[in-house]
Structure formats: structure tokens, C-alpha cells
Amino acid sequence: MNDSHLKYIAEETLRQANKMGASSAEVSINHSKGISITVRHSKPEILEHNNDTGLSLTVYFGHSKASASTSDLNVESIVDTVNSACGIARHTQMDKYSGLADESLMATDLPDLSLYHPWNINIEKAITLASECEQAGRDVDTRITKSEGSSLSSHDGVLVYANSHGFVGSTQSSRHSLSCTLIANDSRGMQRNYYYDIARDSTELDKANEIGIRAANNTLGRLNPKSIKTNSYPVIFSAEVSQSLFKKLIGAIMGTALYSKSSFLLDYLGKQIFPEFIHVYEQPHLIKALGSAPHDGEGIATQERDIIKKGILKRYVLDGYSARRLGMTSKKNSGEIHNLMVDGKKSNFHSLLKQLNTGIIVTETMGMGINIVTGDYSQGAAGFWVENGIIQYPIDEFTIANNMRDMFMGIQAIGNDVDKRGNIHTGSILLDNMMIAG
């Protein structure tokens, strides 16, 4: 299904909404297709093919709003969807803040960010690659005794968004991934770990055997874990764990959390929340990046934006609704984050270990013990014990705790081992101290 046809459907849907009396409306149409396969112990375990389409419509009658959706794009179904949304909107309570994003914010220049690279891979080839990945991992060491499988997925599609301002935008994109999860066993028990890669362009994925080998080495590295004494230690968060910390930062400065007064960073705009060397900003137009987009879900033009500069919170993350509720309309508002970049005192991982001296590397966190209202942070964790800047042995079944305000201000350095497999690009981070319960 091509984007021209979907644009036509989007525009027709808006015309139908206007004909039914809506003062304004917005519609998004998504079409995606792809395959997902999982191989376990060299045998196909899951084979899935999808070819999905969905239309979501929001209509406004003044400041009254309602939404409806359908997966059927024939004329009768779309008319029914418009009728449903309009019928509901006539009976919903008025909210003076509801409505489309400001017309002046609509994107006019939609750059080609090279996000669409379909992979013409059939089921047989997908099974072969996943099998190669799993087998390469299992061949690393006899202590790799089991596998939870190797999975390959390849999806591409098109997203069209249009609204009553006359904005119509379409984005074609693709996403491909390959992963492997293995189990190692020795006299002291079993350990599980994994590795994966993901990219817009399948030619840029790590080789299947390399992913399997890294999964095996990650798993072997966790064998024979020891316990540690409860105390306060300096900590290195691996790049992958660091991403989750900055994800919580964004959650705390989102409009919904702010206007509902449920954020530990309420009223912190313009205040220092990180050391002066920390710079956090968006780069939404990176070629082929997983978080890149020419416009956001409201049609607002994406652009480079500072979130944290010299450690100071410079901007909240606001969609049109939350910006109006907070009285903070701005030409740089957007309720989404696209390629969040974290810069600071860059060090290689060896240097971070030397700075840490004696403490802990956290490579995995578990649990839901993060309170976005108070900033209290408590997570189960696994990782490694370090002495004199040298990794000594794996550790597991411990808990890390602190308050996120103290964690942010306690960052000592950022690693140059940046993980780009997502929307948040950061290296490992060194924090001065956290409470560790062994």
C-alpha cells in the first residue's frame, strides 16, 4: 500500500469529518508488514508474518474531543468511524485546552532521513541466519548448555499523518533486528544473558555469528557470581542501563507528569539538575537513526533542541495540549523525543574503571521500584565487582538505591562506548555513590 493512496484516504477522512460538523480533526494511518522468526536448538519455534493497517481519527467540536479507529480502509468503514467519533464528541465534556497543535508549528520542510530500507528476506533465509547466530553462540564453550532462542525480525511500512491545518506528512521506515539468548551452566548453577543488534538497514546489522558469540561471552561472564556486603559504593551504569536512567529523566519532564504534579522535577525549569559538564539534546535528523523523524505525531517540525545545557534543565517535553495547560506554548515545543544525545566528560571504559577504582558495574536492572513522583530509585541488579580499576568477578541478587536527583548530580563522567541501538544515545556513566544491598 503506497503512501500516495494513504494520503488520499487521510484527506478524504478529514473531509468527511468536516462534513459531519467537526471544527477540526486529525488522522493517522499506519500500514506495516514483515516477518518474525525464532529458532531454538536449531529448530524453528515461532514463524509470524504480519500485514497490518490501522486508521485513527480524532475530531474536535470546539473544545470537545473524541476519537475512533478502524483497521478497515474501505469507504463504508471510514464513514462509520467518522460518524462514531463525531457522535461521541457531541456528548463529551468541553476541555478548553484540547485542540490541534498550533498551525505555525507545522512542518513545512520534510527532509529525507534515509529511514526506509526494506529487506527482501524470505522465511528460509531468515531461519538460516537465526540458526547461524544461535549455533555460533553455542559453539563458543561447552558450558553453553541451552538456548532460549535466536530471533530475527524484519518490518517496514508507512505512517501518514494529516490534520485540518492542511498538513499532510508521510514517513516510510524499516526496522530489522537479530538477537540471541543463551544459558550457561557449571557446578554452581545456570546463568542467562543475550545480545542483539537493530538497524534501519539490514546491511548494517552485525553479522549473525558475531551476535551469537557476543551473546555467549555475555552469558559466560555471569557464571560463578558472588555476593557483596551492603554498603555505599561508586557505580558504573553500562550504556544500556544508562539509557533507562535518561528515559526516566524524560518521563519526569513530560507534560502529563508536570500538569498532574506527579514529577520529582516539578518547577525545576532553569535550575541545575546535572553537573555543569552534562549536555543532553535532540538530533532528530540523523541519517538512518532509529529515533529520527521529520515531524512528530502532531505534525510539528522536529529540530535540534537542548534539554540539559551546562547541567541546567532548559526545556520540558510538551505536546500541544500540555503546553496550553501549562501556559508554555513555544515554537520549539514537541511532545516527543527524537535521538536524545548525552554528552559530557567523555572517557573510554578503561578510564572509567580507573576512576571507579573500587565499586560496582551494573549491567542489568530488574523490577519496578522507581517512583517518578518522588524520584526514589530502587532496582534489583546484576553486574561486576571492581577493585583497583580491574573487574574481579560477577555479582547478582543485589539492590541499588538512591534518589534520582542525587544520581543526576552525582555523575562523574560519561563513557565513549555509546549505544546507538535506540532513541537514547549514551555511553556508560560513572556515579559517585549509591546504596548497595547485598
Q: What domains are defined for the chain? A: 3-220 (3.30.2290.10), 231-437 (no CATH)
Q: Quick one: pLDDT band at residue 332, thresholds 50, 70, 90?
A: low
* Backbone CA torsion sign across 361, 423, 334, 322: negative
Q: What are phi and psi of 149, to 5 degrees?
A: 110, 160
Cα dihedral 256, 309, 344, 360, rounded to 10, equals -40
Cα gap 305→340, rounded to integer Å: 9
Average pLDDT score, the chain: 95
Q: Identify the pLDDT of residue 330.
A: 66
Whether pLDDT at 241 is above 90:
yes
C-alpha cell at 113: 532521513
- Integer Cα distance of 304 and 302 in angstroms: 7
pLDDT in tens, 247-293: 999 999 999 999 999 999 999 999 999 999 999 999 999 999 999 99
pLDDT band at 211 (very low <50, low <70, confident <90, very high): very high
Rg of the Cα atoms in the chain: 24
Q: List pLDDT tens digits, range 115-150.
A: 999 999 999 999 999 999 999 999 999 999 999 999
Mean pLDDT, range 175-189, rounded to an integer: 94
Q: Is the pLDDT of residue 411 over 80?
A: yes
Locate the DSSP E strands across 283-389: 305-309, 312-313, 340-343, 346-347, 359-366, 376-387
Give residue-wise pLDDT tens across range 295-319: 999 999 999 999 999 999 999 999 9
Q: Which of 393, 394, 398 is nearest to 366 (CA)?
A: 398
Q: Which of 254, 307, 264 is nearest to 282 (CA)?
A: 307
pLDDT at 367: 85
How far is the C-alpha of 245 from the C-alpha of 115, rounded, in Å? Answer: 27
What pTM was estimated for this model as a whole? 0.93
